[in-house]
Chains A and B, each alone.
Chain A
């Protein structure tokens, strides 16, 4: 399979994994391993002064995985920029998954604020991977100002509803000159395969793995689905037809026709 290249860095795996919602650091580390991923997302939060030793991320081997800090919790561009700068100061990593979600109910991204924050962060030298609604025009704008990818949502974060924005994602894939990473809402390996078959360059999965009855096996299932979907895309899916197209030859010797 082709390598995925983002901002000059190559990835063999096209599955990105989020590290939220895991029952324990041990399960998280095992699931990340089983997924074959090379890119994991992390978030920033205040230290719990009363439980300062809780450091879940020490379970992640940073030599194996590109850490992708996100700006989750940001409700506008200023907050997102602040979080991105903090993440860089904390880790030295200048990659950021930019997300601005002012509405806590659906967690849909604010395109205007995302574009504003992206402009600032790109100028400051960040590799910006913006989380967006499946809006082809916004995707184009973000690409034009120098974002490294676009990350359209399949359905709301953590909803497991799958590719509800499929038609718009297809337009984004058709027009994009940067990698398209389908993010959010992929609830089953078949959803991930569907995105990859369409030509998405990668997918990001968190909830569906972390909250599965067996997260480690689910991570392995997503790995296979992403690989199968990508392979099918590279192999070239045949066209659809509204009528049957016989697979066996219809020789006429049974009847005189």
Chain B
């Protein structure tokens, strides 16, 4: 497929964020080209958690980011609500379930940590509660004997990203978005009042460019004139999926002190993830699963929910999460008129469509429905 030589907007990155920015612009009649190095970008590896409560993993790994995480936290429940809205407006089945999320504790110290966390989250507008074991058993009677209680966040849920990605793709193609997959961007030069985007399939001139390439945004932004600093890093992560079983785990399950996410899709399959590392030999290269993560992640899942020990893992895969400073990077780049950044934040898939909506609103000259000034791209200068 030949690329257009000129277009209104080029969106670099065809994951959930880039695709949705393109879709929202195209909804308003704008002509948009999406360039993606892979197919469906990082979103093709997503595991479908709708995160709202602060993830203990990020708090442990990046304690210095916690203030920023709290700054973005009010956006999370709105992002989940926006997913539901999107399902409605696209008339699509995302297998989206608002089941709530449980972060389990195995000791009083962990429960105390959750209580403290819940108190702060409640002040920021989240619907959270601390449950003891008896209360937990009443709503989730599948945990192992070591679990003493949990934090319940009613704003959380899950969806099937395969269904979402397919529906979003169908929507943007129907709106006339040009989707160029398997095409890499070699560089972005400023040209007149716009840009010349050099790709592996030729150069495209565009009035505006949106960087929605996750951690790949860092190099693209650094290559601009003037160079823009967006310190996004890739986190290669490990995921597992089992064969199907009868409905068992309703909630999105996490742990106060260990890396795990555990949830069951409508297919009956249980997806086990939570941030165990995958290996990425070269920046931008494919991530590969590691045996150590498979053993640790799956056995931890069985420790928390013992009955899944008899389920077979049928597949593992690795994906790339993008982490910046605990917050997203959203909006116009003042130093370069016509350049926009759309990196959603720690829980990129959850925040994806709403982040895309906010950036698209800025591009359309509308006032975004949320204050996005904390997420401004120039904060790293």
**A and B together in one complex:** no
